[in-house]
């Protein structure tokens, strides 16, 4: 065999009713959507094409790759296709899909980035590269990323604090403290270093309402994040390019030297 199929079967769906397809033709996204609706739920199939294995088709739904065998009852396979040279063909497709999704998001965000009020952010550094960050004071990945970026002199960071209240109940109070401080960059350094993790908070959660100016600034910054599609932290725009998560390798790649 020229190709071997490595199946990590996290799901195998046996759906009543075969996926409709024209004789000898590739099933359409609508065919796959209809045949595997129990598996897909609300996920929309956007692409279907022949895989390297005869009779097996590559389908993409909501940015995820899976395979369908439409003959007979119909089967869906969640796994990897690896060829005899060791190439993970599924991973290559997945990466290409993700890169295209990022490009779409970046194009949508480009004009919005031009119009945001950077005065609402905490500015750190004066380097030639511009990084716009959305970060949670109590997020361990955000702190790790902050440590990485603090060691670089080639960046100017505009940091919008984005506390995730449901998982970090003290993050909003820390964000208010940072934004209310005369030296917000220094206050952020204190918070991100863990200074207030085990002792009293610099501003009690119950006292947040006493700082309406900082609260308004925080809310405005968080709205900017929502407008840009920020759903989790950390998320960054490095010279306009999106980085989701503490992906220091991608950040390094995007920084101009």
Sequence-separated (6 or more) residues with CB below 8 Å from residue 63: 97, 98, 101
Give the pLDDT mean for 119-143: 96
Q: Where are the alpha helices (DSSP H) in 85-181?
A: 89-115, 140-150, 171-180
pLDDT of residue 6: 37
Is-cis flag, bond preceding 234, omega within 30? yes
Residue 233 has pLDDT above 60, yes or no: yes
Domain ranges of the chain: 3-96, 116-254
Tokens of 19: 């996926």
Which residues on neighbouring strands pair with residue 236, listed in sequence order?
133, 243
In CATH, 116-254 is 1.10.3720.10 = no
End-to-end CA distance of the chain: 47
Say which residue the tokens 């790759």 belong to. Answer: 65
pLDDT, one tens digit per residue, over 53-89 is 998 999 999 888 999 988 877 888 888 999 899 999 9
- Is the alpha carbon torsion for 11, 17, 23, 28 positive or negative? negative
């Amino acid at each position: 065999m020229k190709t071997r199929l490595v199946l990590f079967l996290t799901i195998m769906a046996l759906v009543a009713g075969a996926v409709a397809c024209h004789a000898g033709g590739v099933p359409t996204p609508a065919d796959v959507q209809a045949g595997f609706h129990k598996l897909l739920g609300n996920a929309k199939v956007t692409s279907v094409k022949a895989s390297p294995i005869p009779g097996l088709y590559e389908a993409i739904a909501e940015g995820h790759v899976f395979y369908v065998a439409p003959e007979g009852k119909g089967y869906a396979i969640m796994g990897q296709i690896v060829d005899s040279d060791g190439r993970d063909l599924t991973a290559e497709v997945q990466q290409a899909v993700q890169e295209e999704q990022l490009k779409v998001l970046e194009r949508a965000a480009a004009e919005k980035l031009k119009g945001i009020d950077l005065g609402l952010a905490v500015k750190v550094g004066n380097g030639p590269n511009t990084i716009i960050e959305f970060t949670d004071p109590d997020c361990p990945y955000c702190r790790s990323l902050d440590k990485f970026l603090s060691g670089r002199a080639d960046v100017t960071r505009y940091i919008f604090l984005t506390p995730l209240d449901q998982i970090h109940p003290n993050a909003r109070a820390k964000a208010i403290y940072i934004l209310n401080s005369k030296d917000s960059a220094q206050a952020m350094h204190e918070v991100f270093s863990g200074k207030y993790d085990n002792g009293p908070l610099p501003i009690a959660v119950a006292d947040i309402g006493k700082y309406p100016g900082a609260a308004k600034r925080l809310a405005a910054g968080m709205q900017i994040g929502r407008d840009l599609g920020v759903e989790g932290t950390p998320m960054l725009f490095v010279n306009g390019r999106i980085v989701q998560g503490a992906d220091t390798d991608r950040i390094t790649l995007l920084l101009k030297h």
